[in-house]
Amino acid sequence: TVGTASPMDRDLYGLMEEWAHIKYEVPDKNEQEQQMGALMSKASTVTKTYHERAEPYIWEAIITSTQAGIVGGLGALGYAKDAKKILEQAEAINPRALDGAIYTSLGALYYQVPGWPIGFGDDEKARAYLERARTMSPDDIDSNYFYGEFLIDQGEYAKAIAVLEHALAAPDRPNRPIADAGRRAEIRQSIAMAKKKL
């Protein structure tokens, strides 16, 4: 439980909770961008405090890549590059941290960012990272969600539906109700979209 958690876990839980609130409960895009920007600064402070641990880097990267998604377009590229760099730092500390979340996040970045000459996007790398994340955490809601999204992006709709349905069946995460509800809504939306494409 959060009450008996270490100071780092408490700080990370604060970031996770705020991230879920901004991502799923703040409807206004400008407001979202402003709040996520402030959360990026908080996350950076947490990372500096626990710089010998991979977990804060992972959450700083998740928050930074979420900001890339909110900003969109070419403005997102700087954030995406920063997130990639932070994830690589996390990987150097502990590649297995948070059940393979580094590879889920790297995989998502590699398929969402445009390829050369604009960005570092690379579908082959994305597939390799996302498959590695699923091997490390086969029943995780996020590893399955991002792999399913990637498969939709690749036009592999039947496989995507199976993976996304597996994501939907993932158990609830303790103390993450907003994130779980928001992610499940995204998964249902993606399944419906993939079914239309079949």
**Residue appearing with tokens 């958690």:** 5
In terms of C-beta density within 10 A (0-12 exposed, 13-18 middle, 19 or more buried), how is residue 94 classed? Answer: middle
* Structural domain includes residue 120: yes
What digits encode the pLDDT tens for the residues 99-148?
Answer: 999 999 999 999 999 999 999 999 999 999 999 999 999 999 999 999 99
The first and second tokens of residue 30, run together, are 């400008």
Q: Is 55 domain-assigned?
A: yes
Give the number of domains in the chain. 1
Residue type, 76: A
Distance CA 132, CA 145 (A): 14
- Residue 5: predicted pLDDT: 85
Cis peptide before 56 (omega within 30 of 0): no
Is 103 inside any structural domain? yes
Phi, psi of 27, rounded to the nearest 5 degrees? -75, -30
Structural domain harbouring 39: 7-197
d(CA 97, CA 158): 31
Q: Which pLDDT band, with edges at 50, 70 and 90, does 39 fall under?
A: very high
pTM over 0.85: yes
Angle between helices 123-136 and 141-153 (to 10 degrees): 150
Return the C-alpha torsion angle 89, 99, 49, 17, nearest 10: 120
**Is 172 inside a domain boundary?**
yes
pLDDT on residue 1:
54
Q: Is residue 49 part of a domain?
A: yes
What's the pLDDT band for 194 if we cut at 50, 70, 90? very high
Within a domain: residue 2? no
15, part of any domain: yes
The domain that holds 30 is classified in CATH as 1.25.40.10
Tell me if 175 is assigned to some domain. yes
Two tokens, residue 141: 């809601």
